[in-house]
Amino acid sequence: MSDGMLTVFVVCTSSNDWMGPPHNADWTISDVQVDSSTEQCLGDWVCEHRWPVVKAMVEWRSMAIDSPLRHWWTDGQRQIAFSRADRAFIAINDDQSKTLDEQLQTGLPAGVYCDVISGGLADGCTRCRGRTVTGHTHSFTALSSLMLTT
């Protein structure tokens, strides 16, 4: 990311790091081929930007981008949480050995929220396809990794 511009890369897999991206016989970079039924890349191309979880993270960022960072929390190791004012909240647990079980300040009003990473919204944002989390006035407890939007 530079100058505030979000960039999601298409990458490739290779057993030889010197080989570069997938290429044709004349060493020109091959076109990215996409499976029309799954919308995923074929061959050695890896299209993270097409993964539902990455799409959800980009949408979360778009929803929260102009809101200030608030309610920062960390366990000092591999768990963090923060809100973007009263627009969005995220909790990330990158520690497989323990759960994130804290009462965290979110800045969000009490209500039921959709975890947009585990499934996202459907039916014109009226139904959650993933987990829901019930928040009390400005706080949540017993979280794993989730991203919430208002």
Taken in order of first residue, the domains within the chain and their CATH numbers are: 1-50 (no CATH), 67-149 (2.60.40.1180)
Q: How are beta strands 79-84 and 88-93 bridged, if at all?
A: antiparallel
Neighbours of 124 (CB within 10 A): 6
For the stretch 73-128, pLDDT in tens is 999 999 999 988 888 888 888 888 888 888 888 888 888 888 878 877 788 778 88
Q: What is the pTM of this model?
A: 0.68
CA distance linking residue 101 with residue 98, whole number of Å: 9
Asked if residue 37 has pLDDT above 60, the reply is yes
Within the chain, how many helices (H) and strands (E) appear? Answer: 1, 12
3-state DSSP assignment of residue 64: helix
Residue 57 CA to chain centroid, in angstroms? 3
Tokens of 150: 């208002």
CA distance linking residue 119 with residue 23, whole number of Å: 35
For residue 89, give the nearest of 112, 111, 64 by alpha carbon.
64
- pLDDT, residue 139, reads 56
Mean pLDDT, residues 25-29:
88
User: What dihedral angle (degrees, nearest 10) is formed by the CA atoms of 89, 87, 49, 2?
Assistant: -100
CA distance linking residue 47 with residue 32, whole number of Å: 9
